[in-house]
Structure 1
Amino acid sequence: MKKTGILNAELLGAIGRLGHTDTFVVADCGLPVPPGVPVIDLAVVAGTPGIFVVLDAILDEVVVEAMLVAEESVGTAFAEGLVSRGAQPATVSHARLKELCGNARFVVRTGEATPYANVILRSGVPF
């Protein structure tokens, strides 16, 4: 059994299949996911797990070269949490962010219950 890092087999497998420039989403529990995009559902109850518990675990495993959030999230605790982690996400309207989710390799659904707490991540390379 794996003893550190992400233990969820479905999430770990999806991360392992990412290539350079692939996008994926870490989302709150209310983000509508376009048909055909796989969802890795980690939500248990509202608030659990929170988005930063999941995002921090993912950031320990994946090279991320860009992040995209809804402009409606600017100034919120969610946006401040990203900045405190060294992120400088670009912004688009929430409507556009939802459209772009249709191009994602997968969506990780958390139990986060904060409005606009969704981030599209673009996979990078470690060299």
Structure 2
Amino acid sequence: MNARCTYDLTVASGAALPARRLFFAPASAKIRHIGDKPGHCRRARARLASANNPAMLKTGILNPAVLSLLARVRHTNTLVIADRGFPFWPEIETVDLSLVDDVPTVAQVVTALRENFVIGRLFAAEEVKGANAPDKLDRHLAALTGLPISFEPHVGFKKRVPHAIGLIRTGDTAQYGNLILESA
């Protein structure tokens, strides 16, 4: 710190901290530069800016409920990505992202999750192949490129659901378009 600078530093509890702790203060601390030449100390100005403007997510998944759900998934745990018609499972935490038809789609959610979630394998209902138009099926499966997929009857697929950590509901209109992602 510059000898000409004085700083007023308080934390959320209202307690004042010694000036020497300025650069180790928690992000919630409020720092105020006091003196005749405010802003001449670059480090103080940078710390002041970060303390008064807490960091926020600017890229990747922004939804806090989805982030919380992902944070609890461990090795070989599963996560269901469901279309809009998938039944409600009261025993499973559900994050509903549906807005209108096909916003977002299962494929869009999987694409976003792949940045933060290591997918070991996927489970899908085999009925998805016959119940959807070829162009819709191609768009649906395009997000799954390079991932091992196990197709099984929808009845068997639904037996896996109660063991999932959570369920993300989308606005997807693809019939049987649900997926179960297993973490690697």
For the criterion TM > 0.5, the same-fold answer is yes
Aligned to 1:123: 183
Deviations 1:42-80 (A, max 9, x none): 001111111211110011110111100001123651563
Q: What SS is found at the alignment partner of 1:66?
A: strand
Aligned to 2:89: 34
1:50 correspondence with 2:105: yes
1:25–1:120: 8 Å Cα contact kept in structure 2? yes
Q: What SS is found at the alignment partner of 1:112?
A: coil
Runs of 4+ in 1 over 4 A off after TM superposition: none
CA distance in 2 between partners of 1:112 and 1:80 (Å): 13
1:82–1:88: 8 Å Cα contact kept in structure 2? no
Choose from 136, 146, 149 the match for 1:89: 149
CA distance in 2 between partners of 1:72 and 1:88 (Å): 17
> What TM-score do you get using the length of structure 2 for normalisation?
0.63
TM alignment of 1:1-127, pairs within 5 A: 1-74=56-129, 76=132, 77=137, 80-83=141-144, 85-124=145-184
Alignment length, in residue pairs?
Answer: 123
2:124–2:151: 8 Å Cα contact kept in structure 1? yes
Shift of 1:82: 4.5
CA distance in 2 between partners of 1:59 and 1:39 (Å): 19
CA distance in 1 between partners of 2:156 and 2:98 (Å): 24
Q: Which runs of 5+ in 2 are unaligned?
A: 1-55
Determine which structure has greater relative contact order: mean sequence separation of CA pairs < 8 Å that are 6+ residues apart, divided by chain length: 1
Q: Which amino acid aligns with 1:74?
A: K
Shift of 1:3: 1.1
Deviations 1:84-110 (A, max 9, x none): x22230011111111211111100000
Superposition RMSD on alpha carbons, in Å? 1.6
CA distance in 2 between partners of 1:88 and 1:66 (Å): 5
- Name the % identity: 33
Q: Which runs of 5+ in 1 are unaligned?
A: none
